[in-house]
Structure 1
């Protein structure tokens, strides 16, 4: 399906060409015009229904970022192990033993490793791992690795798209291919609209909202809405007062995050629409992250 295709197509911040191509093809099916700006944002425009005697339609920009977090190759050591730098934010302790794909002259598989626990000192065992302590093993010596991989090549996580209990999805890049998917599916359902809709799949959100900043100046919308993911905090170890949003609790309407405070009139409008259409929703205050809305 489309969500699976979006999630499995690689495209970290700054290297979005592959996913850009997929999204462009999908937006061409549901909008009147598609363009790609100099930074790489894909902008699909669905024109308002023309009404004689009416003023020019308002512009509504919907943004969902296409880039995913990943890594950049920084060094290949004498034994062929690949060192890397993060592109976007990672929790290092989740990376050990993860499968990855290194995108060099061809795509090759690898696994993230570190010094085995069996030979760690007591002091080392007490410390949390750092990115600089990790490496990628692709099963080759340096002479072979260097023919395929060089510094600057990008790396993505290798995760299967999987359904849990036939209703929950686990996959890489759901942040924010899920938002891109929702944007495309919503456009499929719109027949006549009375505003010009600018559906923007943005680049480089994970490294500073760069695509949204550029595209918002280009579009100059009257209203902007960012589609992104949030956390499911209904898990063991979370205190009641720390629970922001829950899995299955409904669409999250963001009130505030680390980059922006949402417009109250727009929040109230979204709440009204949800309630009138019996759409389950919850509100979200998340100070540990931000979205394209901050642009």
Structure 2
């Protein structure tokens, strides 16, 4: 099926850090309302969309939040210090554009670490990787104007255009807007059909800071089966040994065996592998040493839920150049739709 990649571009470029997913949520609600029987938003801001079907309750979870920052201090010169909301590698933060989402409007600034420029620094200083706490935002405004317009607690996001390079798309927040996109496209594919499962498509909040939205939404939905949709590492680039690749770009949707937050239900792993082979959908097995997905929260809900993660291989995760392959996205949509239609 042809996917609407303009929607993916729009989703990735829309800002939304943990606890401040409002703009993403508004776009998701707009997209899913025509596709489901009912939709609601819970106390943590999760979007819960219900498409009635014949069988057990299946919860599909894709998180709306991206990693970002909150302003923690505005100094006397108008420079901003930041508190991370999610996991950053400081090596990827040099000389970045950011947006400060102030109450009276967005402000564009630049993010850099404190210290001397290369022209003045010593060889030892140039080798040092600054810590996150050393970075600051320069809005290029007078200090009194910054102090009047920016407050402690204002969200800050990285600024980056998403580019379609033909076979791949690259930009910020593919983690996890690529899966939000996948879930919306799967709902489109189910239009006019009755799924074999009672489908709850949940677009979760605050995943990047501890799977929090999935905890509350899974408690409320009471699923009998849980399927998280998330990105995973594609370390198929220079500088990493082959055995650390986890997945490879363009070789199919990832069927997760385990990660740092969950071990997938073995029956579901077998079901999805068999279905992918039956439908000739490209897939790859995934074992992720660290990190986790909303499956880790879903499987612990109430008395426990059999859960699994379907993953989108992604290069350069937690940077502004996160890169996904169209063939992997299409494989993910096709596999999920086949499962929900009871073709396993």
User: What's the TM-score, normalizing by structure 1?
Assistant: 0.95
CA drift of 1:249 comes to 1.3
Which residue is equivalent to 2:170? Answer: 170
CA drift of 1:284 comes to 0.8
Which residue is equivalent to 2:73? Answer: 75
1:19-30 map, 5 Å: 19-30=24-35
Q: Which structure 1 residue ranges, 5 or more long, are not aligned?
A: 50-56
When structure 1 is superposed on structure 2, of 120-129 and 155-164 the one drifting more is 120-129
CA drift of 1:126 comes to 3.1
Q: Which structure 2 residue ranges, 5 or more long, are not aligned?
A: 1-5, 298-344
For residues 275 and 118 of structure 2, the distance between their equivalents in structure 1, rounded to whole angstroms, comes to 53
2:56 equivalent to 1:58: yes
Would you say how many aligned residue pairs link Structure 1 and Structure 2? 287
1:1-295 map, 5 Å: 1-49=6-54, 57-104=55-102, 105-114=104-113, 115=115, 116-164=117-165, 166-190=166-190, 191-295=193-297
Kindly provide the CA deviation profile for residues 252-271 of structure 1, in whole angstroms up to 9, marking residues without a partner as x.
11110000000110011111
CA contact (8 A) 1:65 1:176 kept: yes
- Give the SS at the match of 1:5: helix
- Give the SS at the match of 2:220: helix
CA contact (8 A) 2:233 2:245 kept: no
- Give the SS at the match of 1:139: coil
CA drift of 1:127 comes to 2.3
CA drift of 1:143 comes to 0.4
When structure 1 is superposed on structure 2, of 111-120 and 100-109 the one drifting more is 111-120
Which residue is equivalent to 2:315? Answer: none
CA drift of 1:280 comes to 0.4
For residues 96 and 141 of structure 1, the distance between their equivalents in structure 2, rounded to whole angstroms, comes to 23
CA contact (8 A) 1:64 1:202 kept: yes
Kindly provide the CA deviation profile for residues 33-92 of structure 1, in whole angstroms up to 9, marking residues without a partner as x.
00000110000000015xxxxxxx310000000011001011111211111111100001
CA contact (8 A) 1:76 1:142 kept: no
CA contact (8 A) 2:69 2:156 kept: yes
When structure 1 is superposed on structure 2, of 118-127 and 229-238 the one drifting more is 118-127
For residues 118 and 271 of structure 1, the distance between their equivalents in structure 2, rounded to whole angstroms, comes to 56
User: What's the TM-score, normalizing by structure 2?
Assistant: 0.82
For residues 260 and 120 of structure 1, the distance between their equivalents in structure 2, rounded to whole angstroms, comes to 45
| TM-align CA RMSD | 1.1
- Give the SS at the match of 2:285: strand
CA contact (8 A) 1:260 1:293 kept: yes
CA drift of 1:95 comes to 0.4
CA contact (8 A) 1:234 1:245 kept: yes
For residues 195 and 250 of structure 1, the distance between their equivalents in structure 2, rounded to whole angstroms, comes to 24
Kindly provide the CA deviation profile for residues 169-193 of structure 1, in whole angstroms up to 9, marking residues without a partner as x.
1111110000011001001111121
For residues 47 and 247 of structure 2, the distance between their equivalents in structure 1, rounded to whole angstroms, comes to 30
